[in-house]
């Protein structure tokens, strides 16, 4: 058959087409893939793939082999480097050459490697016999599907995809549609901000997508938006902001003013100098008053709340001060008219071309229909064959559409995806897709930059990439994924064979097509439409995708489920959020279970009273309550999709309380600092009082060669949690599950603490890894010397010597030690073992563990230096948390190297040690957060 050259891996799996991955088969598959990476046979082979040779990001401490590829979320590419060991992808780093990453990643990208090894991934084609109940499918094969496809009834082909930016996939899709008269393509983008798109149409009469340059702005106003967390450019935006802020700080200039009016607390709002929590309608009123000087035609509703008035006054002052260096960012909570108004405001402020550029939307699909149109077609009976590619409409769709009941109306329903999900259960055929790190492909970044995908491992199962599948469906002569992508770019570039080869190798090696970002559009003067004046309903439902599972797509990812949500610190749940006054009015408290009703559709869900949440509005999470996600994600949280209206992110809501209660599993109970100076703050330009020199009873032990230390900048930390997951991936940290988290046994080595900030409800984040105290209290009390100091100042934990007295944890003032109270590391799912870092011991029941400063990376770097004779230089050792951090808040290095980044950091006037008065002499220290004086 003409699938990718059968590798030993896939061959092994084909021997037993009957699904389910057994231990033996997996092991042989793994053995095969190891052989692949080491040997020089089919994908990923040195001949075809082009490993990232010299990795500036992780230097000498890096893994043996990296592949530059792209992690695609919501259709957009995030450039990553997939680190492999023994041929197994085990860790993801950001791709420094990629505009959406610049070397950093978000939590999703870090967790993507677990998605690759997810034991619940679909491994084989499945068919459901006619008339069989949903989900009652049996294992089949690609060959059988190909026959069925050939024999399918002609005409009435409809294809449903998620947002699609891949040039190759779109070309192949176009070819497929062209072959079939009357074929139709529909796009369903559950996470997309429809109002924003419509707003640009109102303002400019065309589709356009803003590209924010937060490094150029001196005033950023976010309205119902979170530029640090939302959208494909979030990591880049956070990084731009942080870089500019550090530069300004070092130059003694005032940092850019950040202002936020938001419904639910967001990362940007937490970092803003001024923040107000408002219901969407009131945000829009505030917007009109703020925009009035520049866009008077939008009208100025009378001010009401004094607190809001104060916010508006300061905002106006900031906008006037920054003038053309301002940007105003509107988010999904605003109406399309408000978006248009914001676009006009930016334009008249003079921000366009400075703080913001507009490009054609990389995922624009003018010729594609919507999900609603597809449902109509299904009801009209005009859909003969329906292809669902990489989408899960049976779960991720507004309840009003009744998609699940409409889908079976297609005579032949084919679903392709990573999992046998809710849609697959309804399909006649389910086809297993390859994971991004198993395939050749391409996709566009938020700024339109074309990014390539190359496999870091041969497909674990008998899977196809989307383009290979499309080629098969379109009966394309070329069936090999790599061939398809090459052909696409050959046609695109029109280069000669030799020239193309060079271009190809360079592009695959770096993961990006050089200079392929979209050019900025020249746009006409923006027009504004009158904003809806209708009074908002007393209680509004606002729909937002769960920050951990991204609308349910990653529900089966244990790392993400167990990742404490930035503000509530709850895990394994999707509560309804609301403000404190609203809660009091409705007589509700955190943990009460309510009945939420929108347009007659009801949902029972627990509520969480979030002090930072706006009043008179509930945030309903999208992404909980999966029914066919897998053994991890099924039944976690509640599913608010059925309540979501078809065409709006907001809806009138009715709440009735029930007697039921619900216990949340949280990792942090209180958010007050109890008057203790834990997160220190200081006004711009100020310096902290120097730490008093503290006497030591004994002479210190010297670290003659290296003295490793870390510095964490609380001024640029945005609390995004990327470090926590990066650490989890690097150090084989187990997932303990909801109940154990509730019992206070979460295992994260670096936790991100949140404390209440200033009166206006800001938040202060503080990542807390092991402090590696020079006078470590934990070491003193260990009866067997299982935790001791090494010659480079690391406080090391000797797992195989630990007998589990837990005295070290009691004696740790920072409580950064984690104990395996039970057998936490998963021994039942074989694929998970393949993800684990072979350089890090997998801890069993009964031993203590904690942050090791990624000692395995330190060791690799040392060995590299010994091997090559080249002395270590600053940046050779990058800890996992440091590598992932989008704002570069974490710095790690050698105190004996006077030129090192960390030495400079510790010389800063903002430098301080957490609980310094205890005189444990921590090697991990902090830089105070700069806050404009109230």
Partner 1 sequence: MSRPAVSHGSDVLRPGWGYADVTDKIAGIVLTRRPGRVWVGAFFATLAGTLAYLAAMGVLFWKGVGLWGIRMPVAWGFAIANFVWWVGIGHAGTFISAVLLLLRQKWRTSINRFAEAMTLFAAAMAGLYPILHLGRPWFFYWIVPYPDRMNVWPQWRSPLVWDLFAISTYLLVSALFWYLGMLPDLATLRDRARARWKRVAYGLAALGWRGEARHWARHESAYLLLAGIATPLVVSVHSVVSLDFAIGNTPGYHSTLFPPYFVGGALFSGFAMVLTIAIPLRHAFKLHDFITDVHLDHAATVLLATGAVVAYGYAVETFFAFWSGDRFERAMVVDRWTGVYAPWYWLMIACNVALPQLLWCKRVRRSAAALFALALAVNLGMWLERVTIVVQSLHHDYLPSAWGDFWPTAWDWIFLLGSISTFAWLFLVFVRLLPAISISEMRELVKETS
Partner 2 sequence: MTGDSPWGLMAEYASAEDLVGAARAAREAGFRDAEAYAPFPVEGLPEALGFHGSKVPVVTFLGGLAGGVGGYLMQWYTAVVSFPEEVGARPLHSWPMFVPVTFELAVLGAALAAFVGVLAMNRLPRLAHPIFDALDFELATRNRFFLCLRTDDPAFEPARAAALLDATHPLRRVEVAR
Of 84, 91, 5, the C-alpha closest to 38 is 84
The string over 305-336, giving b where at least 16 C-beta atoms fall within 10 Å of a residue's C-beta and e elsewhere, is eeebeebbeebbebbeebebbbbbbbbbbbbb
Segment near partner 1 (CB under 8 A), from 66-74, 456-464, 470-478, 671-679? 671-679
- How far apart are CB 642 and partner 1 at their closest, in Å? 36
Q: To the nearest whole angstrom, how small is the minimum distance from the Cβ of residue 760 to partner 2?
A: 43
Closest CA to 614 of 308, 272, 278, 260: 278
Interface pick for partner 2 out of 611, 700, 838, 899 (rule CB under 8 A): 700
Per CB under 8 A, the segment of 381-389, 668-676, 779-787, 857-865 that binds partner 2 is 779-787
Helix (H) or strand (E) holding 412: strand 412-417
Q: Which does 820 bind (CB under 5 to 8 A by kind): partner 1, partner 2, none?
A: partner 1
Angle between helices 481-493 and 497-510 (to 10 degrees): 120
Give residues with Cβ within 8 angstroms of 376, minimum separation 6: none
Query: Which of partner 1, partner 2, none is residue 18 near (CB under 5 to 8 Å by kind)?
Result: none
384 and 156 Cβ atoms separated by less than 8 Å: yes
Instruction: Check residue 565 for interaction with partner 1 (CB under 8 A).
Output: no
Does residue 783 belong to the site contacting partner 2 (CB under 8 A)? no
Cβ-count burial 340-354 (b if 16+ within 10 Å, e if not): bbbbbbbbbbebbeb
Decide which of partner 1, partner 2, none touches 822; Cβ closer than 5 to 8 Å per partner kind: partner 1
Rule CB under 8 A: is residue 792 a binding residue for partner 2? Answer: no
CA dihedral 424, 426, 431, 437 (to 10 degrees): -20
Identified binder of partner 2 from the candidate list 779, 792, 830, 876, rule CB under 8 A: 779
Tell me how far apart the alpha carbons of residues 678 and 675 are, in angstroms, rounded to a whole number.
9
The residue among 370 and 809 lying less far from partner 1, judged by its C-beta, is 809
Work out which of 674, 692, 698, 898 binds partner 1, going by CB under 8 A.
674
803 interacts with, out of partner 2, partner 1, none, CB within 5 to 8 A per kind: partner 1
Number of residues that bind partner 1 (CB under 8 A): 54
Q: In the 8-state DSSP scheme, what is residue 352?
A: B
* Residue in 1, 514, 784, 859 binding partner 1, rule: CB under 8 A: 784
User: Considering beta carbons, is residue 410 or 802 the nearer one to partner 2?
Assistant: 802
Figure out which of the listed residues 132, 660, 780, 859 binds partner 2, where binding follows CB under 8 A: 780
768 contributes a contact to partner 1 by CB under 8 A: yes
Q: What does the block give as tokens for 840? A: 């890090």
Residue 382 or 673 with smaller CB distance to partner 1 = 673
The candidate with the shortest Cα–Cα distance to 216, out of 324, 77, 375, is 324
> Looking at 90-98, 225-233, 691-699, 847-855, which segment touches partner 2 (CB under 8 A)?
691-699
Backbone angles phi, psi at 142, to 5 degrees: -60, -40
> What does the DSSP assignment read for 691-716?
PPP---SSPPPP--S--EEEEEETTT
Residues 705-744 as x/- pattern, contact with partner 1 by CB under 8 A: -----------------------------------x--xx
Mention every residue, 6+ apart, whose C-beta is less than 8 A from residue 715: 245, 249, 889, 910, 927, 928, 929, 930
774 binds, among partner 1, partner 2, none (CB under 5 to 8 A by kind): partner 2
If contact means CB under 5 to 8 A according to the sort of partner, which of partner 2, partner 1, none does residue 468 touch? none
Side-chain-side CA neighbours of residue 308 (13 Å): 21
Q: Figure out which of the listed residues 823, 827, 863, 866 binds partner 1, where binding follows CB under 8 A.
A: 823
Taking CB under 8 A as the rule, does residue 663 contact partner 1?
no
For 425-491, the DSSP string reads: HH-SEEEEBPPGGGS-EEEE-TT--EEEE--SS--SSS-B-HHHHHHHHTT-S---HHHHHHHHHHH
Instruction: Output 206 or 789, the one with its CB closest to partner 2.
Output: 789
Measured from the CB of residue 903, what is the shortest distance to partner 2 in angstroms?
A: 21
Task: State the minimum distance, in angstroms, from the CB of residue 700 to partner 1.
Answer: 17
Looking at the Cβ atoms of 687 and 780, the one nearer to partner 2 is 780
Torsion of CA 630, 636, 637, 638, to 10 degrees: 40
Cβ–Cβ under 8 Å, residues 287 and 223: yes
Which of partner 2, partner 1, none binds 250 (CB below 5-8 Å, type-dependent)? none
Largest CA distance in the chain: 86
Query: Cis bond leading into 44, ω under 30°?
Result: yes
Closest to partner 2 by CB, 397 vs 787, is: 787
Residue 696 in contact with partner 2, rule: CB under 8 A: yes
- Half-sphere exposure of residue 896, counting CA atoms within 13 Å on the CB side? 13
Stretch that binds partner 2, among 136-144, 311-319, 414-422, 699-707 (CB under 8 A): 699-707
Verify binding: residue 916, partner 2, rule CB under 8 A.
Answer: no
Q: Which does 789 bind (CB under 5 to 8 A by kind): partner 2, partner 1, none?
A: partner 2
d(CA 204, CA 522): 10
In angstroms, give the least distance from the CB of 756 to partner 1. 10
CA distance 574 to 563: 12
- With CB under 8 A as the contact rule, the residue among 23, 475, 602, 701 that binds partner 2 is 701
**Phi, psi angle pair for 682, to nearest 5°:** -155, 155
Among 608, 814, 853, 926, binds partner 1 (CB under 8 A): 814
Taking CB under 8 A as the criterion, the residue among 673, 680, 738, 874 binding partner 1 is 673
- Shortest distance in whole angstroms from residue 314 CB to partner 2: 49
Query: Can residue 916 be called a binding residue for partner 1 (CB under 8 A)?
Result: no
Find which of partner 1, partner 2, none residue 775 binds, CB within 5 to 8 Å per kind. Answer: partner 2
- Per partner kind, with CB cut-offs from 5 to 8 A, the member of partner 2, partner 1, none near residue 696 is partner 2
Helices 466-473, 167-179: crossing angle, 10 deg rounding: 20
> By CB under 8 A, is residue 803 in contact with partner 2?
no
CA proximity to 740, closest of 596, 561, 882: 561
Binding segment for partner 1 (CB under 8 A), chosen from 42-50, 77-85, 553-561, 775-783, is: 775-783
The Cα 72–Cα 79 span in angstroms is 9
Distance between CA atoms of residues 183 and 386, nearest Å: 10
Give the 3-state secondary structure of residue 514: coil
Question: Pairing state of beta strands 924-927 and 708-713?
Answer: parallel
Q: How far is the CB of 842 from partner 1 (least distance, A)?
A: 15
Residues 759-778, mask of contacts with partner 2 (x by CB under 8 A): ---------------xxxxx
Of 313-321, 376-384, 414-422, 694-702: span binding partner 2 (CB under 8 A): 694-702
Using left for φ > 0, alpha for ψ between -120 and 50, and beta otherwise, residue 575 falls in beta
Among 785, 790, 827, 899, binds partner 1 (CB under 8 A): 785
Residue 751 lies near partner 1 (rule: CB under 8 A): yes
CB 450 within 8 A of CB 466: no
Q: Give which of partner 1, partner 2, none residue 214 binds (C-beta under 5 to 8 Å, depending on kind).
A: none
Q: Which residues bind partner 1 (CB under 8 A)?
A: 668-676, 678, 740, 743-746, 751, 753-755, 766, 768, 777, 780-785, 801-807, 809-811, 813-815, 817-823, 845-848, 915, 918
Q: Which residues bind partner 2 (CB under 8 A)?
A: 696, 698-701, 774-780, 782, 785, 788-790, 921
């Amino acid at each position: 058959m003409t699938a990718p050259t059968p590798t030993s891996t896939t061959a092994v799996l084909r021997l037993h087409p009957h699904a389910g991955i057994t231990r033996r088969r997996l092991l042989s598959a793994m053995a095969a893939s190891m052989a692949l990476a080491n040997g020089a046979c089919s994908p990923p082979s040195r001949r075809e793939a082009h490993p990232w040779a010299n990795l500036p990001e992780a230097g000498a401490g890096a893994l043996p082999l990296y592949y530059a590829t792209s992690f695609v979320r919501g259709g957009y590419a995030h450039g990553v480097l997939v680190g492999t060991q023994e041929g197994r992808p085990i860790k993801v780093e950001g791709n420094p050459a990629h505009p959406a990453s610049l070397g950093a990643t978000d939590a999703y990208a870090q967790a993507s490697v677990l998605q690759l090894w997810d034991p619940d991934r679909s491994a084989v084609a499945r068919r459901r016999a006619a008339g069989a109940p949903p989900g009652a499918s049996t294992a089949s094969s690609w060959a059988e599907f190909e026959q069925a496809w050939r024999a399918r009834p002609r005409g009435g082909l409809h294809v449903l995809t998620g947002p699609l930016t891949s040039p190759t996939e779109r070309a192949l899709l176009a070819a497929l549609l062209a072959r079939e008269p009357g074929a139709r393509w529909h796009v369903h983008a559950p996470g997309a901000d429809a109002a924003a798109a419509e707003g640009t149409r109102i303002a400019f009469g065309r589709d356009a997508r803003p590209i924010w340059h937060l490094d150029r702005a001196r005033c950023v106003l976010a309205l119902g938006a979170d530029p640090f967390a939302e959208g494909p450019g979030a990591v880049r935006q956070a990084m731009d902001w942080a870089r500019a802020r550090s530069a300004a700080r070092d130059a003694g200039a005032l940092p850019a003013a950040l202002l936020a009016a938001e419904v639910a607390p967001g990362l940007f709002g937490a970092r803003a100098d001024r923040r107000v929590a408002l219901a969407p309608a009131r945000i829009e009123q505030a917007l009109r008053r703020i925009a009035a000087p520049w866009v008077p035609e939008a009208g100025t509703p009378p001010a009401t709340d004094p607190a809001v008035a104060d916010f508006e006054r300061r905002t106006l002052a900031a906008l006037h001060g920054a003038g053309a260096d301002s940007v105003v960012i509107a988010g999904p909570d605003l109406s399309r008219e408000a978006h248009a108004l914001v676009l006009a405001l930016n334009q008249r402020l003079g921000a366009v071309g400075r703080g913001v550029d507009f490009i054609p939307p990389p995922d624009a699909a003018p010729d594609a229909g919507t999900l609603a149109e597809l449902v109509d077609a299904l009801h009209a009976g005009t859909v003969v064959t329906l292809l669902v590619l990489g989408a899960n409409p049976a779960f991720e769709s507004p309840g009003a559409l009744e998609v699940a009941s409409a889908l079976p109306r297609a005579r032949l329903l084919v679903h392709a995806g990573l999992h046998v999900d809710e849609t697959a259960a309804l399909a006649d055929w389910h086809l297993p897709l390859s994971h991004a790190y198993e395939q050749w492909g391409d996709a566009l970044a938020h700024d339109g930059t074309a990014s390539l995908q190359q496999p870091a491992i041969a497909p674990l199962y008998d899977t196809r990439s989307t383009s290979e599948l499309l080629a098969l469906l379109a009966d394309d002569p070329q069936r090999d994924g790599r061939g398809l992508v090459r052909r696409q770019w050959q046609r695109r570039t029109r280069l000669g064979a030799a020239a193309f080869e060079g271009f190809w190798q360079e592009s695959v090696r770096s993961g990006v097509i050089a200079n392929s970002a979209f050019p900025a559009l020249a746009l006409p003067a923006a027009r504004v439409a009158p904003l809806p004046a209708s009074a908002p309903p007393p209680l509004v439902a606002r729909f937002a995708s769960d920050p951990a599972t991204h609308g349910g797509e990653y529900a089966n990812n244990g790392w993400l489920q167990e990742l404490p949500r930035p503000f509530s610190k709850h895990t394994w749940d999707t509560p309804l959020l609301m403000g404190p006054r609203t809660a009091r009015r409705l007589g509700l408290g955190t943990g009460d279970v309510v009945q939420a009703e929108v347009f007659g559709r009801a949902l029972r869900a627990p509520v969480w009273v979030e002090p930072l949440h706006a009043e008179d509005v509930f945030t309903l999470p999208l992404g909980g309550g999966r029914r066919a996600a897998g053994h991890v994600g099924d039944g976690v949280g509640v599913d608010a999709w059925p309540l979501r209206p078809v065409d709006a992110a907001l809806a009138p809501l009715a709440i009735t309380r029930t007697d039921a209660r619900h216990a949340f599993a949280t990792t942090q109970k209180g958010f007050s600092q109890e008057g203790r100076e834990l997160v220190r703050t200081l006004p711009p330009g100020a310096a902290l009082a120097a730490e008093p020199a503290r006497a030591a009873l004994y002479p210190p032990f010297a670290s003659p060669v290296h003295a490793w230390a870390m510095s964490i900048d609380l001024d640029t930390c945005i609390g995004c949690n990327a470090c926590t997951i990066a650490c989890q991936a690097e150090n084989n940290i187990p997932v303990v599950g909801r109940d154990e988290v509730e019992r206070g046994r979460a295992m994260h080595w670096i936790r991100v603490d949140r404390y209440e900030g200033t009166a206006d409800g800001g938040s202060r984040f503080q990542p807390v890894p092991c402090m590696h105290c020079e006078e470590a209290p934990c070491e003193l009390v260990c009866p067997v010397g299982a935790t001791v100091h090494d010659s480079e100042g690391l406080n090391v934990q000797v797992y195989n010597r630990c007998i589990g007295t837990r005295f070290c944890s009691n004696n740790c003032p920072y409580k950064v030690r984690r104990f395996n109270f039970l057998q936490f590391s998963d021994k039942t799912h074989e694929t998970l073992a393949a993800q684990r870092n072979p350089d890090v011991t997998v801890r069993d029941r009964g031993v203590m563990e904690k942050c090791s400063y990624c000692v395995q990376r330190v060791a690799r770097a040392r060995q590299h230096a010994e091997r090559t004779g080249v002395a270590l230089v600053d940046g050779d050792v990058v800890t996992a948390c440091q590598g992932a951090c989008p704002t570069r808040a974490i710095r790690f290095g050698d105190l004996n190297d006077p030129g090192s980044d960390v030495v400079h950091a510790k010389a800063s006037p903002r430098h301080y040690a957490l609980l310094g008065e205890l005189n444990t002499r921590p090697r991990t220290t902090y830089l105070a957060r700069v806050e404009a004086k109230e």
